[in-house]
Amino acid sequence: MTKPLNIAVAGLGNVGAKVVTLIQQQAEILEQRSGRAINIAAVSARNPSLDRGFDLTGLRWVSDPLALAAEPEIDVVVELIGGSEGPARHLVERALSAGKHVVTANKALLAHHGTALAEMADRHGCVLAFEAAVAGALPIIKSLREGLAGNRVREVHGILNGTCNYILTEMRETGRSFAEVLSEAQKLGYAEADPSFDVDGVDSAHKLAILTAVTFGCAVNFAAVHVEGIRHISPLDIAYASELGLRIKLLGIARRTDRGIEQRVHPCLVPQQAPIAAAEGVFNAVVADGDFADKVLLVGRGAGGGPTASAVAADLVDIARGRRTPPFGIPASALEPLRPAAIADRVGAYYLRLMVVDRPGVIADVSAALRDHAVSLESVLQRARSPDQPVPVVLTTHETREADLMGAVSRIAALAAVVETPRVIRIEQF
């Protein structure tokens, strides 16, 4: 009989607890699919007396997670502690150096140290698997790295943060403000007490940096991601978007261009009928565009213990079967440094909302600023008329270079009749 795969689970929170439950509940099918049993040889967390919703009896508790890296009988360390530094990083480094395979859901760790960890894994002949780190249950890493291996993928874009997607969906459906919906999301447990990682786009940027490396075979470069969050999105912009047949989504986009690789996370306006627009609420969605495959779309739950545990289990089955793939699809030594394309050189359409005092000549001044920066307009919307009061004016542009648009916007912002900072949202046609 083939020897079981002995794993140690470090971190028994939302994800770790579900990983243990899944392995216990699905033992039979996991064994069939792996060709051997998956045995939980040890578990570790901070508090041994916490009720974690599953029976700890029979599981060996190790108080120091770092000790797991030194145990000869453990084949795989499953790191579910979290954080880009501290115990999670030390554990992963020690486990790989000791020749153990590592499975992790830790996007922050990979975004900051992914290339170095991949080199370490290659050097020690180990697997470093992280399907769970990007978009929860969606098998996007496997799809890009293995399923689309015959393609040059031109672009990947996706809704990579369920909290933001939930907030934007609720704002649209109920007309409420960002602050109101965020506070409700916190009560429902969809948003953290400190929501900044999610709503400021950092979590999406971590995931995008990983996707970029897998997609283009380049070193992970989190610092090169242009990041904007959703705090400034107002119900007014959402209402205008609907009027224009568009929907606001926080997207991560990685695109190869002549100028280098674009990596950006920011609110986008996408056509309501675009496949990505259909992913609502807490759902994630990712589209990969391959030169032979054309567009491939994955939609599903991007977070939560169960969906994330599902991805961890898939990685464990691969390891148990002996399937070995370099972490980012090609040997770590072949990962090219990423050549970032500046956001100022993005060419595309833009939505621009101005709050202007309604008096003659204002639109002429705005048009002059746009004309002088070579920005041409696709549409102008002015719903309300209220002489001498601020009213919204919404403009959409044809394709234009971002630096040109921003030049025009700073001139417009300085006009006496423009009473608020102009709102700019990029339009993506896909």
Number of residues that bind ligand NAP (CB under 6 A): 24
Q: Is 369 helix (H, G, I), strand (E, B) or coil?
A: helix
User: Residue from 303, 314, 332, 356 that binds ligand NAP (CB under 6 A)?
Assistant: 303
User: Residue from 5, 15, 19, 211 that binds ligand NAP (CB under 6 A)?
Assistant: 15
Q: Residue 10 or residue 341: which is nearer to ligand NAP going by CB? A: 10
User: Residue from 89, 107, 142, 266 that binds ligand NAP (CB under 6 A)?
Assistant: 107
Q: Residue 49 or residue 57: which is nearer to ligand NAP going by CB? A: 49
Q: Which of 102, 97, 99 is nearest to 76 (CA)?
A: 102
267 binds ligand NAP (CB under 6 A): no
Alpha carbon 79 to chain centroid distance? 19
Q: Which of 173, 247, 213 is nearest to 428 (CA)?
A: 247
308 binds ligand NAP (CB under 6 A): yes
What CA–CA distance (Å, rounded) separates 111 from 109?
6
Contact between residue 404 and residue 375 where contact means Cβ atoms under 8 Å apart: yes
User: Residue from 42, 43, 80, 233 that binds ligand NAP (CB under 6 A)?
Assistant: 80
Which of 18, 207, 249, 295 is an active site residue? 207
What CA–CA distance (Å, rounded) separates 234 from 306?
33
Residue nearest ligand NAP, CB atom distance: 13
Report, in Å, the least distance between residue 50 CB and ligand NAP: 6
356 binds ligand NAP (CB under 6 A): no
Report, in Å, the least distance between residue 13 CB and ligand NAP: 2
**295 given a catalytic annotation:** no
Q: Is 371 helix (H, G, I), strand (E, B) or coil?
A: helix
The 10 Å CB-count burial string (b at 16+, else e) for 345-360 is: ebebbbbbbbbbbbee
What CA–CA distance (Å, rounded) separates 130 from 144?
13
Site for ligand NAP in 29-48 (CB under 6 A): 44-47
Report, in Å, the least distance between residue 225 CB and ligand NAP: 17
81 binds ligand NAP (CB under 6 A): yes
Q: How far is CA 234 from CA 239, 246, 399, in A?
A: 9, 15, 24
Report, in Å, the least distance between residue 6 CB and ligand NAP: 19
CA angle 357, 361, 366 (to 5 degrees): 80
Beta strand pairing call for 246-257 and 153-159? antiparallel
Residues 182, 188, 189, 190: is their CA dihedral positive or negative? negative
Stretch that binds ligand NAP, among 68-76, 104-112, 333-341, 368-376 (CB under 6 A): 104-112
Report, in Å, the least distance between residue 137 CB and ligand NAP: 10
Stretch that binds ligand NAP, among 100-108, 118-126, 237-245, 330-338 (CB under 6 A): 100-108
What CA–CA distance (Å, rounded) separates 253 from 225?
9
Residues of this chain that bind ligand NAP (CB under 6 A): 11-16, 44-47, 50, 65, 80-82, 87, 105-107, 132, 136, 303-304, 308
- Which residues carry out catalysis? 207
